[in-house]
Structure 1
């Protein structure tokens, strides 16, 4: 019998008992209270009856003059002749009360609303507990779901990009398959494995692969499933979960987002009766207490290990921490191949090329990239997914969707072209800078234009030269606007560039020790997230002279790189104008067109570009000079040429727009 049926029967029994108790105390009419009709006639003739109430069934109720209540029934209804004869002959006449409804019918009619309310209350109690197949009396039962071997299809072949993490957990599978091989040498497998990594790196996927390879029972639960509003429920669920796991040993318990219940104790919130702390205490005891946990391996995942209680991380509980980091270029290529298995690909698709253009992408980001490419191909009614769809999906994820419904005036579009050309030009001229990959003046996200840089390899540290080159390229857009339009007409498009450049310069001086005057000293702490028990800020005692020197050094770094970018821009002003013209014509140029511009040669058109369409649009515009003059003299915004993809809405230039250079 299921738990639901047992709980239902229990509540029905309780309801019947309560109804019986209430029914026994309720007033009822019995035959002992009924008066003979003959006696009633005699009392009437003797004047002892004060009042009488007769209903349609011949039932008479009332009160005597003595205050005593009575009830009687006229025999035979209203046959007065018969009654008179009976009275004259001295025959005892007695009527019968109308037949009452059955006890069960009375219970059903009287108690059905209460039974309905009890049922609704049970339903909502189950919903408050999150369902999970537990009854209203099962607060302390574990919510861990047990997955069988057939339900887990994931193996190590489905996990890519984290070879070191896989190697560390593979011995768990070997221990679960052959525990004797480890026990002979006195080895003890870690009882707890903590998977640490950024969101989307594949921690849960790796835990599933362990269970799929080991072919053992797999219990999965979230850290938030332990804690309820009732004190003691979380600890009871922890005990129940480990009891179930011991019965199914050898097995694996996977606790996702363990930081929900494993935060540091003693934070000053809740005290000793805090439900979360009691749950954590019970988990500590179950993982390494007086009783052993042989054959039960606990795997937990979190992306915030810094907030976990130290007692939870000590050897004997979570003996080993496995870091699942962001994949490198080779790992990204492997992950892409895993996700491309179910996608029909064109012959021009190369996972290694896509991996090179997606630095910093996690496994989840790459899965999303493949999905976006497949959706893009489906929208075009293609049978296979080509490299063009992958490039479009990558641009959409990194830079945002194209805002084709947005139209800007010709003059503002030209300023955006100069701005992005300034970024690209300085990025190509300064040393140790990532190569410029693509430049576009099509609005994407919050930016009117985007300049993308594609690193030749993954960078894990940055040199001083690389950082200063980034500052120079960030100011390239503002410098281009200043040289072309003058200082009075510089736009707000460089607001994000200034913010990023200032942040790099400040960290160079205060955190990374790259200032010759201040030396390798720490003057500011990197800002981190605020957790329970942590401080919102780090205080540094700086004298006024030191603070003034820090400001001077930051300003010197920015001015030095600003002047360098300005000199390079003046020396190559012809390339800036040519790149602007190229952007105005094609709207988007890639590395091939940029190479031609830097070499001062004829710029090849982008792939798929048809010059015939462009010339037709120009001739159509020249044939309608009168219309163009009327449009220019009116208050309507100037229409952009067809080959420049005009949109029906004018841009709102009252707010500063962020001009990002994605890398």
Structure 2
């Protein structure tokens, strides 16, 4: 309809232009009709051409004129013939007809636009037009062509078992209702990004073989107040027509945040949308046969009314997988990848603690891309090791030009980290030390955890502080106070953050005791992020600062003691890094014992993690996720640009 209307308008405009340019009478003098009849009566008109109401003629003097005859003057032709005027009568041409149509064009367009808008308001114009704001954006997935099942989900067995009951409800609800059980209203999938929450929701729909509506939390919220609530109502109306079915709301925290937490009261669009969602999920009118699945990585910001039983009856935690889970995920993603005989997925899984399912999928993909660039027919363990290094540390920057002094400073800086790490018994074994620039770092030391770690001891944290200060101390010992560079800025920042958590959150200060002195939550006020009141006295704040400084300085002095006593080993590691650029953990151990490097073909290289300040605190079980807190303590921030 719209395309046809556009073409009609274009054709009319072209016709009007043609009619305007083809009008040859534009320069002829126009005279009143009364003067025309007087001239005919006086015998000064020689010939006339009549076309419709238009009259074009010529005087006996040769001058041309034009006029418009009166419609009721039916005897004009006889009058002209009587006065011996040559008369020519023509039919009205298409150009004149087009001109008449163009004169009515504005009215035609207004009427057509009004009809179009009415059709949109009645929902007959396709549902996505100008008046379709309140229509739901939920998409109905076709599980026949893109069906997922629990076999496609690996590494999160506990979460699958918890959701299998939902599938049983959808398959055979009578088995539960005859015992008085009610079908659950909803399940909230909670977990870090990339753990497979969306995939798990699709697997539930595929196993139950029911309609599956999917929508994002941000799709509800628009700039017009009331649109989100209208979309919620329309979504549930569609779901009722397809019951039993599943509605999956991804990133529900976009619409389900605490009400009244921000400025402007409780009448904004997001809160109205949340209110409508709460009513639809569990209000006066029951929505039988509709199960709501939602996913978020921020359950702490959701409104309590959304989390109560009757709306989200169960919360399913989808964590980062453990070693066995990572191995199963690697098997799924590498099923279509030709692997070399030296690839051991068990070893790769052991060396990737904290990796999510998305991280492991990216690891397999990067390894396959590297093998293709190297013109290999299979993906070997070398590609997996290089892909892991690229993901965790960035691409190598071998083209970067460094002076000999800068390269030597970097080598001894990393040697300081490596030697302190080797001398501290609580730290993870070193996997690799390198001075090849990667990402933003000019060098780094990496460690390989021997197992998944869910808590960390006080001794390990103090070892981390000492190792973090090892690079700065090595620069002071080898080059003097005046030559110390800014390369340890990342180490200092991460060590300070670690010490602050030890003092204020983890209760590891004898003077302050096991008391929480700070909150991680922040509020936004007028565009500025401000920390919540910490409810402490000035004396306590001063004591916290003093304890943080003491922890860092103790690590600094411990690193100085280790490196001063092992100055010979420090020089050996520094010179070896200058010569070989990269040393493995085994080579470093042999080097400090024998004083020389024994090169050999590395066995299956193991994925690595950065040896730095504690990657997490005792209360967390996700080492990789918390590397952001102290990611560059040992090396990645060591000489950061």
Same fold per TM (> 0.5)?
A: yes
Q: What is the Cα deviation at residue 207 of structure 1? A: 0.5
| Paired residue secondary structure (2:135) | coil
CA RMSD of aligned residues (A): 4.3
Distance 1:117 1:489 in 2: 82
Q: What is the Cα deviation at residue 162 of structure 1? A: 1.5
| Paired residue secondary structure (1:395) | helix
Change in CA separation of 1:348 and 1:544 when aligned onto 2, cut-off 3 Å:
same
Instruction: Show the counterpart of 1:277.
Output: 271
8 Å CA contact 2:321, 2:355 repeated in 1: yes
Instruction: Show the counterpart of 2:502.
Output: 508
Instruction: Show the counterpart of 1:225.
Output: 219
The match for 2:392 among 392, 398, 401 is 398
| Counterpart check, 1:83 vs 2:82 | yes
Change in CA separation of 1:132 and 1:329 when aligned onto 2, cut-off 3 Å:
farther
Distance 2:159 2:126 in 1: 32
Instruction: Show the counterpart of 1:413.
Output: 407
| Paired residue secondary structure (2:594) | coil
Change in CA separation of 1:290 and 1:97 when aligned onto 2, cut-off 3 Å:
same
Distance 2:459 2:418 in 1: 18
Equivalent runs, 1:291-302 vs 2, <5 Å: 291-302=285-296
| Paired residue secondary structure (1:599) | helix
Q: What is the Cα deviation at residue 214 of structure 1? A: 1.0
Instruction: Show the counterpart of 2:377.
Output: 383
Q: What is the Cα deviation at residue 341 of structure 1? A: 0.8
Instruction: Show the counterpart of 2:546.
Output: 552
Query: Which range is displaced more, 464-473 or 327-336?
Result: 327-336
The match for 1:361 among 355, 373, 384 is 355
Distance 1:448 1:406 in 2: 10
8 Å CA contact 1:211, 1:218 repeated in 2: yes
Q: What is the Cα deviation at residue 80 of structure 1? A: 9.4
Instruction: Show the counterpart of 1:71.
Output: 70
Runs of at least 5 residues in structure 1 that lack an aligned partner in the other structure: 16-37, 63-68, 88-92, 610-656
Instruction: Show the counterpart of 2:63.
Output: none
Distance 2:496 2:393 in 1: 22
Instruction: Show the counterpart of 1:659.
Output: 637
Query: Which range is displaced more, 102-111 or 581-590?
Result: 102-111
| Counterpart check, 1:525 vs 2:519 | yes
Q: What is the Cα deviation at residue 240 of structure 1? A: 1.7
Equivalent runs, 1:206-245 vs 2, <5 Å: 206-245=200-239
Change in CA separation of 1:354 and 1:94 when aligned onto 2, cut-off 3 Å:
closer
Distance 2:428 2:175 in 1: 51
| Paired residue secondary structure (1:475) | helix
Equivalent runs, 1:151-550 vs 2, <5 Å: 151-267=145-261, 269-271=263-265, 273-526=267-520, 536-550=530-544
Query: Which range is displaced more, 408-417 or 464-473?
Result: 408-417
1:304-358 Cα deviation digits (max 9, x unpaired): 2222222211111111111111222222222111111111101111112112222
Change in CA separation of 1:95 and 1:388 when aligned onto 2, cut-off 3 Å:
closer
8 Å CA contact 1:73, 1:96 repeated in 2: no
Change in CA separation of 1:60 and 1:114 when aligned onto 2, cut-off 3 Å:
closer
| Paired residue secondary structure (1:146) | strand
1:165-221 Cα deviation digits (max 9, x unpaired): 111111111111111111121112311111111211111111011111111111111
Distance 2:639 2:424 in 1: 16
1:357-399 Cα deviation digits (max 9, x unpaired): 2222211111111111111000000000011001101111111
Distance 2:525 2:349 in 1: 35
Q: What is the Cα deviation at residue 283 of structure 1? A: 1.4
8 Å CA contact 1:59, 1:74 repeated in 2: no
1:219-239 Cα deviation digits (max 9, x unpaired): 111122223333332222222
8 Å CA contact 2:486, 2:639 repeated in 1: no
8 Å CA contact 1:252, 1:296 repeated in 2: yes
Q: What is the Cα deviation at residue 268 of structure 1? A: 5.1
1:434-480 Cα deviation digits (max 9, x unpaired): 11110000011111101101111222222110100000001111111
Change in CA separation of 1:8 and 1:100 when aligned onto 2, cut-off 3 Å:
closer
Aligned residues: 570
Distance 2:221 2:637 in 1: 45
Q: What is the Cα deviation at residue 543 of structure 1? A: 3.4
| Paired residue secondary structure (1:378) | helix
Instruction: Show the counterpart of 1:614.
Output: none
Distance 2:392 2:101 in 1: 69
Equivalent runs, 1:582-597 vs 2, <5 Å: 582-597=576-591
8 Å CA contact 2:217, 2:252 repeated in 1: yes
Instruction: Show the counterpart of 1:23.
Output: none
Change in CA separation of 1:410 and 1:387 when aligned onto 2, cut-off 3 Å:
same
Distance 1:268 1:528 in 2: 12
| Counterpart check, 1:578 vs 2:556 | no
8 Å CA contact 2:397, 2:439 repeated in 1: yes
Change in CA separation of 1:228 and 1:41 when aligned onto 2, cut-off 3 Å:
closer
Q: What is the Cα deviation at residue 150 of structure 1? A: 0.5
Q: What is the Cα deviation at residue 409 of structure 1? A: 1.4
Instruction: Show the counterpart of 2:133.
Output: 139
Q: What is the Cα deviation at residue 248 of structure 1? A: 1.1
Change in CA separation of 1:94 and 1:287 when aligned onto 2, cut-off 3 Å:
same
8 Å CA contact 1:76, 1:95 repeated in 2: no
Q: What is the Cα deviation at residue 538 of structure 1? A: 2.1
Runs of at least 5 residues in structure 2 that lack an aligned partner in the other structure: 10-32, 58-67, 604-634
Q: Which has the higher contact order (CA 8 A, sep 6+)?
A: 2
8 Å CA contact 2:487, 2:638 repeated in 1: no
Q: What is the Cα deviation at residue 498 of structure 1? A: 1.0
Distance 2:444 2:292 in 1: 47
| Paired residue secondary structure (2:70) | strand
Query: Which range is displaced more, 269-278 or 498-507?
Result: 269-278
Distance 2:131 2:141 in 1: 24
Q: What is the Cα deviation at residue 502 of structure 1? A: 1.5
Change in CA separation of 1:56 and 1:39 when aligned onto 2, cut-off 3 Å:
closer
Distance 1:39 1:661 in 2: 100
Question: TM-score with structure 2 length normalisation?
Answer: 0.79
Change in CA separation of 1:484 and 1:273 when aligned onto 2, cut-off 3 Å:
closer
Change in CA separation of 1:533 and 1:98 when aligned onto 2, cut-off 3 Å:
closer
8 Å CA contact 1:152, 1:211 repeated in 2: no
Distance 2:97 2:224 in 1: 40
1:100-150 Cα deviation digits (max 9, x unpaired): 76978854786399859989x989x99xx9x99633443322221112330
8 Å CA contact 1:195, 1:300 repeated in 2: yes
| Paired residue secondary structure (1:267) | coil
Distance 1:257 1:113 in 2: 49
